A and B are shown apart, each in its own frame.
Chain A
C-alpha cells in the first residue's frame, strides 16, 4: 500500500514585496513559467525549508507550531492549492481540505443552492449532493433555515454549513486547518465525533491546530514546525512536550526583557516624580518609601538559584531579595505578595505576621522566601516585595515591578490550587 502523502524536500519561497523587480521577472515568468528563479535570495522569504515526511494511509498526523511557522503553507501545498518552489508532494486518494469553511458561498442565494455549488467545488457530483442533502442539512442543524439566503445566517450557522458540506465529501485524505473551533460547544462535540468516525474508517487525517491536547488525544504522530523547518517529528506526547518547553524558554526570555524594561521605566519615573501615592492605579508598577532601607535586587529562581520567570504549577520557587540598610535599624519587616492579573492578591505574608523578631541590621542582607510548591493556576502573576516598619511606614515598597508566569497542563480554575487528591473506593474512574 503506497503512503497517503509523501513530501520530499519541500521548500516554499515567498517573494518579498519589491515592485521594481516584478517587471524584470515578468518576462521570465511567462517564458519559463517560473517567477522565483530570477529572484535574489534577499528578495525571497522561505516559508518552508526542506520539509520531508510521509504519512501512511489511515494515519492521523498533527502539525503544531507558532504562528508563521509554515503550518498552513504546508497544508496548502499538500492540498495542491499552491505548488512548492522546490521539492515534490505525492498524494494518493481524494483530498478534502478544510482550510476555509464556506469559501465560495454566495450571500444572495439560499443555503440549499449553496450546498450544491460548494459541493461541486469540493468535487462532488450533483447526484451525490442530492443524495446527501438531508444529511448535510441535519448535521449543520439548519433544517429551518436552509431555504433562506446565506446572508441572513449568523457566522456560526455559516461555518456549520461549510463544515457539514466539507465532511460529507467523503474524502480519503482530510486536511484540517484549525477549523474545529466552529460553532458552539455542542457542535464542537459533533465535529470531534465526526473526526473520530473518520479515524475508525481508516481515513488519513492531517490536522493543523494550536490545541495540543487535541493532538495528543487524536493523532498517531505529530510534527512540530519552527520557522519553516521540522523541529521534531514522532510520538505526539514527546513532540508537544518539546514544543511546550521551547515556548517556555521563549517566554522566559521575553519576561526577562520585560522585567528590565519595567525596572528602567520605574527608575526613570522616580527621577521625575519622587512621590507617588499608593492609591493610584492598582495595576501600575510603582515604587515608594523613604529608602532608609532599600531592596536593591529581587530574583525569582529555582532551587539552584537560577533566575526563572516561567514556572510550572507545583514547582518550587525561591524569592531572593538583596537589601541594604543605610542606618542601624531595629524595626523592620520584609514582606511578599503574589497578585494575579486581575489585581487579586493570591497570597501575602511578611516576617512580622509570621512572628520573626527583627535584630539589629545595618549594611547588606539577603532575604530568601522559599515556596516548596507553587500551587497557583495557570496565568500571569505579579510579585510585590517590601521592607517597612511594623507600623506599616514604608522604607521601600515595590509594587507590580516583577512578574512571572505559571504554566499548567491542568486547566483548573480559581485563585490557587489547593493540594488535593481524588479517591474512588468503588473504582468508577481510571487514569
Chain B
C-alpha cells in the first residue's frame, strides 16, 4: 500500500495531464467555454437567493447578506458533491484504460476530485467580489481558508477512493449516492446557519449536525469568508485527523479491490 502511494507521486504528471484534459474537454465546443466555471456557481446562487429570499423567507438575521452566506457554503459543497458523483463512476467510465493499457487506477478518482477542486478555486474570485461588494468578512481570518481546502481535499479523496472502487462491484452505489448527497446537503449548515433556531430547538437535529463532518468544513469557510472570526482549533484538529483516517480507509479498500477492476469493469 505504501508502495502504491509512492507510485501515485510518480504518476503526478499523468494526473496533471488528465486533469487538464478533463477541464479542456469539458467546455470544448461550448460558446462560453471556461466562463462556465464562473457562470455555474453564479447561476446556482441566483436560484438559491430567489428561493430563500422570496419564497421561503423565514431566515436567521445572522445570515445577512444572505447571498454571500449561501455562497460560502455552496461553492465547497458543489466541489464535494460533484467530485463524489463523478468519482463513483470514474473507474467504470475509465474501463478501457484499466483493461487495455498499463494504468494506475487510483488516478481516475483523483482526477475527478482535483478537476472539481479547480472549478471550486475558479469560483472563489466571484466570492471575493461579493465580499468586497458587501464589505463583509474582510479580515485576516480570511487566510485560514486554504487549511480547510486542504483538509476537504483529503476527506473527499478518501470517500472518492472508497466509492469508486466499491461501485465497480455494486453498481447500486451510483444511484444511491445521488440521493444520499441530497439528504446530506440538507443536513449540513449551508442554506441555514449552525445556530438556526429550528436546529437549536431540536436535540436530534443538533446531534445530526454535530456528527456530520461537513458541518465543520462549512463552519470553517463561513468563519473565514463571512463572519471574519478565527476557526475553532479543536474542530480543525478533529476533522484533520478524521480526514486522514477516511483517506487511509478509502485507500485501503481501493488497494484491496484494485486487482478485481480489470475483470469487473
Contact = CB atoms under 8 A, between A and B. Distances in A.
Interface in A1-26: 14-15, 22, 26
Contact of A29 (B13, B25, B98, B256): B256
A174 interface: no
B186 interface: no
Chain B contact residues, majority secondary structure: helix
Contact of A108 (B29, B102, B256, B260): B29
B259 A81 contact: no
B259 A83 contact: yes
Interface string B233-265: 000000000000000000001011101101100
Contacts of A113: 21, 24
Interface string A102-129: 0110101100010011001111011000
A103 B28 contact: no
A103 B260 CA distance: 20
Contacts of A331: none
Interface string B2-13: 000000000001
Nearest to A12: B263
Contacts of A149: 28
Interface size band for B: 20 to 34
Nearest to B98: A81
A30 B14 CA distance: 27
B257 A29 contact: yes
Contact of A81 (B21, B102, B169, B256): B102
A30 B97 contact: no
A30 B17 CA distance: 31
A159 to B, nearest CB: 13
Contacts of B13: 120, 125-126
Contacts of B97: 103-104, 121
B101 A99 contact: yes
B18 interface: yes
Nearest to B16: A120
Contact of B14 (A103, A108, A121): A121
Given A15-B263, A29-B260, A121-B14, A80 B28 contact: no
Interface string A67-103: 0000000001001111100000000000101011001
A120 B103 CA distance: 10
A116 to B, nearest CB: 7
A35 interface: yes
Contacts of B17: 116-117, 120
A274 interface: no
B203 interface: no
Contacts of B18: 117
Contacts of A108: 24-25, 28-29
A117 to B, nearest CB: 5
A80 B262 CA distance: 11
A414 interface: no
Interface in B1-56: 13-14, 17-18, 21, 24-25, 28-29
Contacts of A33: 255-256, 259
A76 B21 contact: no
Nearest to B101: A103
Nearest to A166: B101
B14 A76 contact: no
Interface string B98-109: 111111000000
B96 A109 contact: no
Interface string B67-111: 000000000000000000000000000001111111100000000
Nearest to A95: B102
A35 B260 contact: yes
A120 B253 CA distance: 27
Contact of B263 (A82, A117, A121): A82
A177 to B, nearest CB: 9
Contacts of B100: 81, 99-100, 103
B103 A121 contact: yes
B19 to A, nearest CB: 11
A122 B101 contact: yes
A306 B102 CA distance: 52
A113 B99 CA distance: 22
B115 to A, nearest CB: 13
Nearest to A116: B17
Interface in B102-150: 102-103
Contact of B101 (A14, A31, A100): A100
Interface of A: 14-15, 22, 26, 29-31, 33, 35, 76, 79-83, 95, 97, 99-100, 103-104, 106, 108-109, 113, 116-117, 120-123, 125-126, 149
Given A29-B169, A103-B97, A113-B21, 6 more contacts: A80-B102, A81-B99, A100-B96, A108-B25, A109-B24, A149-B28
20 contacts: A35-B259, A35-B260, A79-B102, A80-B102, A81-B102, A81-B103, A82-B263, A83-B259, A100-B101, A103-B96, A103-B97, A104-B101, A104-B103, A108-B25, A108-B28, A108-B29, A109-B21, A117-B21, A121-B14, A121-B97
Q: Which 3 A-B pairs have the closest CB atoms?
A: A100-B100, A82-B262, A108-B28
